[in-house]
A and B are shown apart, each in its own frame.
Chain A
Amino acid sequence: MLPSLEELSAWLPDLLSGLSISLQVTALSLLIGIPFGLLLALGVLAKSRLTKIVALFLVEVGRGAPALVLLQFIYFGLPTTGLTLGSFTAAVIALAWNTGAYTSEIIRASLQSIPHGQREAAVAIGLNRLDALRYVLLPQGLRVALPALLAFSILIFQGTSLCFTIALPELVSRAYEIGSNTFRYFPALLAAGVLYASISIPAALLVSHVEKRAGSYAQR
């Protein structure tokens, strides 16, 4: 059942290059998605009705529909409008949208958790809206949001496995390919699982550590 050493050494380069693609998609999705989430959060909190509706729509669809469907919508759907994207680009767009939708809720909740007096004090010392956000509200809000954002990053890392369905040669695709070539599905998939777990589990432990620290920070 378990892969032999020879098998492992034969498969590992393939699996690792798959993992590297998974990590690249994760990093880009977060790098684009979290700032997008901030924009969406501000959009939802905006006074302008149109901005609010557009932001709410992007948030509700981005987290209401399964990431798998977003992925296929962008990869298989957009070409019918004449816009064809590579699977890597499609993966980043779909997962960044998904990230933006979820993180906008996280960021919005943490901005709203800041005591009202902070905004008042910022206004009273004459800061304009943008400065109040930049210097007073966001630094505090992001500190509150940090554990949840980190926890979400793990989910997005795991979510890259869905890119199997759009033929992106990431970790699951590589393991599946090895399986179908050798008929050694179980050991190949297991090896991929170990690689996922070796990143997800330490990351999850880190998140719970950060959560505890954030908790004690809030009590100070």
Chain B
Amino acid sequence: MTEDDALAAKGAPSEKGQARKPLIKLDKLSKHYGNHTVLDGIDLEVMPGEVLAIIGPSGSGKSTLLRCINYLEPPDGGHVTIGDISLNAAAPAGRSELSTLRRSVGMVFQSFNLFPHMTVLRNVSLAQERVLGRSRKNADERSMQLLSRVGLADKAEQFPGRCSGGQQQRIAIARALALDPDVMLFDEPTSALDPELGLEVLAVMRELAETGMTMIVVTHEMSFAENVSDTVMIMADGKIIEKGPSADVMRNPQQERTKRFLRAVHDR
């Protein structure tokens, strides 16, 4: 089964008659901290509706890759293309380009990063008002829909500090969805959570995947990589070691490095 077959089998939206074009395309993306190479010329394509899981040992550059995609950390070489926007890392990015890029990319952080001084509802509504220019009323309506979708409409008037970690992360997902992004980035969304709280977050992510959202997920959850994602990519030392349909990579890895990593994870 090829990658595209896997996508088709899952029913990813591919409009007929139109050549299938990747939604995200990274060309020779690189990032250095001083002499240390964090990303070493990453080439990557992600199709619309595809769910890509990135796994690998810590320090492999997977989080940095994610943060370079929405320019939270500007890459220092290569190109980032998302939909119609294309940024060249060699040239300084313009403000309007960055703003368009970030509007089409939602991001969920390991430590949630909800705004503690605002109610849950304001957390989700803020960007709709300030970035999309929606009225308070319209923004709040949309926010309530999103909060219902993650099962937390009853928490709207609470402050984030009163919610459990799992609830906070689901709110963070609703907040990221509020700008109707084309792609969602997840940076180890369950790593800061107790296992049972992680499950409720994974359930929300699985539902999101089933609606056809394009997702890139840096994770340590092997079951998510194996069962939910379409594609799995293994990274080490700033390079892609192996990439392919999730079932293939997880059950029948080709690279020695991948085998070692998966064995280490299973033994834990």
Q: How far is the CB of B172 from chain A (nearest CB, A)?
A: 8
Across the interface, A121 reaches (CB within 8 A) one of B99, B113, B131, namely: B113
User: Would you give the 0/1 interface string for A138-157, flagging 1 where the beta carbon is closer than 8 Å to chain B?
Assistant: 01100100000000000000
> Restricting to A173-201, which residues have a CB under 8 Å from any CB of B?
none
B131 close to A125 (CB less than 8 A): yes
Q: CB distance B72 to A118 under 8 Å?
A: no
Q: Are A127 and B72 in contact (CB under 8 A)?
A: no
- The residue in chain A whose Cβ has the minimal distance to the Cβ of B115 is A136
Which A residues fall within an 8 A CB radius of B?
115, 117-118, 120-128, 131, 135-136, 139-140, 143, 220
Cβ contact within 8 Å between A131 and B72: no
In the assembled complex, the Cα of A143 lies from the Cα of B105 at a distance in Å of 31
Say if the beta carbon of B62 comes within 8 Å of chain A: no
Using Cβ atoms and an 8 Å threshold, which residues of chain A touch B99? 126, 128
Partner of A124, one of B72, B95, B130, B161: B72
Kindly state whether residue B111 has any CB partner on chain A within 8 Å. Answer: yes
Once the chains are docked, how many angstroms separate the CA of A115 from the CA of B161? 15
Q: Is the CB of B102 within 8 A of A126?
A: yes
Q: Tell yes or no: B258 within 8 A of A by CB.
A: no
Q: Is the CB of A120 within 8 A of B72?
A: yes
| Separation of A159 and B123 alpha carbons in the complex (Å) | 42
Q: Which residue of A118, A124, A136, A220 contacts B102 across the interface (Cβ within 8 Å)?
A: A124
| Chain B residues with a Cβ closer than 8 Å to the other chain, count | 25
A131 to B115 CA separation, bound complex (whole angstroms):
13
Residue of B nearest to A123 (CB): B72
Residues of chain B having any CB pair with chain A under 8 Å: 70, 72, 95, 99, 102-103, 105-107, 109, 111, 113-117, 126-127, 130-131, 161, 175-176, 178-179
Contacts of B113 in A (CB 8 A): 115, 117-118, 120-121
Question: Which chain B positions have C-beta within 8 A of A125?
Answer: 102, 106-107, 126-127, 131, 175-176, 178-179
A residues less than 8 Å from B117 (CB atoms) = 139-140, 143
Q: Which residues of B contact A124 (CB under 8 A)?
A: 70, 72, 102, 105-107, 109, 176
Q: How far is the CA of A50 from the CA of B179 in the complex (A)?
A: 37
Given contacts A124-B102, A125-B127, contact A118 B115 (CB under 8 A): yes
Contact A140 B175 (CB under 8 A): no
Which of A118, A120, A136 counts the most chain B CB atoms within 10 A?
A: A120
For B111, give the chain A residue with the smallest CB separation. A117
In the complex, what distance in Å separates the CA atom of A117 from the CA atom of B160?
15
| CB neighbours of B116 from chain A (8 A) | 140
Kindly name the residue among A124, A131, A143 whose own CB sees the greatest number of chain B CB atoms within 10 A.
A124
* Measured CA separation A33–B127 after assembly (Å): 31
Shortest Cβ distance from A129 into chain B, in angstroms?
9
A127 touches B70 (CB 8 A): no
Output the nearest chain B residue to A140 by Cβ-Cβ distance. Answer: B117
Q: Which of B105, B109, B130, B161 has the most CB of A within 10 A?
A: B130
Provide the bound-state CA to CA distance between A139 and B115, in Å. Answer: 10
CB distance from B116 to the nearest CB of A (A): 7
Q: Which residue of B lies closest to A117 (CB)?
A: B113
A131 contacts which chain B residues (CB < 8 A)?
130
